[in-house]
Structure 1
Amino acid sequence: MNQVSNRNIRDEIRDYWSARAETFDNDPGHKIAEGDECRAWTALFLRHLGDARGRRLLDLASGTGEIAMLCHDMGFRVTGLDWAEPMLARARAKAKTAGADITFLEADAEIIPAPSGSQDVIVTRHLVWTLVDPLAAFQEWRRILAPDGMLLIVDGDFVKKSLLSRALTKLFGSSSTHHPHARNWHEDILSQVHFANGARAEAVADLLRRAGFTEVRIDSRLTAIHRAQARQFGWRKSLMRRSEHRYVITARR
């Protein structure tokens, strides 16, 4: 692994996602489509979090605000946090258009400017695999959760490819929509984060336990979401996504 300062790698991560903000929602799998996909994500969150009941929820790595908007519509009191201001600008615009009362903050998800015990729920989608120091981040997340608070992680191993994925890539080439320069930048960043070899669910769960979380559970039942997204992806990319190691992890403070 390259030896660089935390500041340098974190700045690179922030700049990378800032550069992608303008077209982020154009890439299937980022924006949550109305109808079946929205219902599938809502059902997933209900399965693990139960009814919102007005609980305080922090959406980490909020991006353009898709998960924050979903949770707001479910009845949570939502704060979204992201390190990339261009992402937040789009999230705020969405919330304003929808009349949604969501606060969006610019901050590093590993160093959160929030009081201890100030949130009832923390959710995050596709953040953990990019963390520089996940153990410290998980300890920070536990700090800001209220007693008996819940954490929900949606993530995956986006590095190691399954046999099926490798075969499809060999036959048809990569399905990535990244600009070639952005792709190279992404690979350079990836080599410097903790999960450079892929964020496997059990490894993430083990770090959560080490950070003090309890009732850590892994759920790979994402079929409804994959099925709903298939229309956007087309059969090849949809098949590749289903072959990936994707999961939900829940834990309690």
Structure 2
Amino acid sequence: MTQTSSLPSRISGYWDTRAEGYSLRTIDEFDSGEGDRWVERLTRLLDLPPSAKVADAGCGPGFLALAAARAGWQAVGFDASPGMLDEARKNAAALGLAVDFIEADAAALPVRDGALDAVLSRNVIWNLPDPLRALRDWFRALRPGGELFYADGNHYRYLEDDAFARLHQTEAVPYGHSEKFMLGVDTSPMERIAGGLPLTHQDRPGWDVEALLECGFTDVTVFEPVLVKVTDPKTGKESALIRDFMVLAKKPV
């Protein structure tokens, strides 16, 4: 098996090792009220009926699927990591929420064309071997007028971009990477994988806007960018980097 053909299994294998800690983060977010804030955000941003069918693509331990279920929608989560799906099912049971979790490639959802009212994802697209394929598939899966929402970021851009490398060297450990959630898992395999992923080498969210329009989406909006200032030690020039961001887009009616 070539390295290219084994890339999806390498990615899902890494996330299997992160499943327990990532699940602890999900429960921590719901216990802290962050889950409720996400429910409010989703219901404010998405114009969906109470019976809406909503998919969390690359659901991990289920955060957005659980938030969608708490909003009252019919939620399903798809992920290629069996370990993540086990944790997602436990989390749904613990929160008393009815969500189906299904093993599947996040870039090839096992649903008929136009079956979904909304597709959601959080911190997934950067991690895909073919992100454009995913956007095209999500477009296919949405009904006319359906909505796509995702949160993502310039993860691992520091492997290529000097400004992001300086940011990576000086920033505090992110919330999700604190030891209580990492549980001692070695992240170097993901860093090696990320070096070969296409979005490690793209400036975002500029790439996202162009890709979404190319796929046929309209009303593409980038919002809630997390801006971080970085100073070039050679020139003293300060620049603002977009670390994280959210995107909302629609499939035309």
The TM-score with structure 2 as length reference comes to 0.80
Any idea what SS the aligned residue of 1:13 has? helix
Q: Quick check: 1:18 aligned with 2:22? A: no
Deviation, structure 1 residue 218: 0.6
Deviation, structure 1 residue 167: 6.1
State the distance in 1 between where 2:156 and 2:168 align.
15
CA RMSD of aligned residues (A): 2.9
Deviation, structure 1 residue 14: 0.6
Deviation, structure 1 residue 149: 0.5
Deviation, structure 1 residue 192: 1.6
Note if contact 1:134-1:207 (Cα within 8 Å) is conserved in structure 2: no
Unaligned runs of 5+ in 1: 224-241
Equivalent position of 1:136 in the other structure: 133
Equivalent position of 2:195 in the other structure: 191
Any idea what SS the aligned residue of 2:111 has? coil
State the distance in 1 between where 2:72 and 2:124 align.
23
Amino acid in structure 2 at the alignment position of 1:205: V
Note if contact 2:126-2:154 (Cα within 8 Å) is conserved in structure 1: yes
Of the structure 1 ranges 40-49 and 70-79, higher mean CA displacement relative to structure 2 is found in 40-49
Q: Quick check: 1:212 aligned with 2:219? A: no
Deviation, structure 1 residue 222: 6.8
Any idea what SS the aligned residue of 1:116 has? coil
Equivalent position of 1:159 in the other structure: 156
Question: What pairs with 1:1-253 in structure 2 (closer than 5 Å)?
Answer: 4-5=3-4, 7-27=5-25, 31-50=28-47, 52-160=49-157, 166=166, 169-170=169-170, 176=177, 177=179, 178=182, 182-197=186-201, 200-220=204-224, 245-253=243-251
Equivalent position of 1:226 in the other structure: none
Amino acid in structure 1 at the alignment position of 2:244: R
Going from structure 1 to structure 2, the CA distance change for 1:191 and 1:179 (only over 3 Å counts) comes to farther
Unaligned runs of 5+ in 2: 228-239
Amino acid in structure 2 at the alignment position of 1:116: D
State the distance in 2 between where 1:19 and 1:198 align.
27
Amino acid in structure 2 at the alignment position of 1:157: N
Any idea what SS the aligned residue of 1:150 has? strand
State the distance in 2 between where 1:96 and 1:252 align.
32
Greater relative CO, 1 or 2 (CA 8 Å, sep 6+): 1
> Number of aligned pairs?
230
State the distance in 1 between where 2:139 and 2:52 align.
16
**Higher strand fraction (1 or 2):** 2
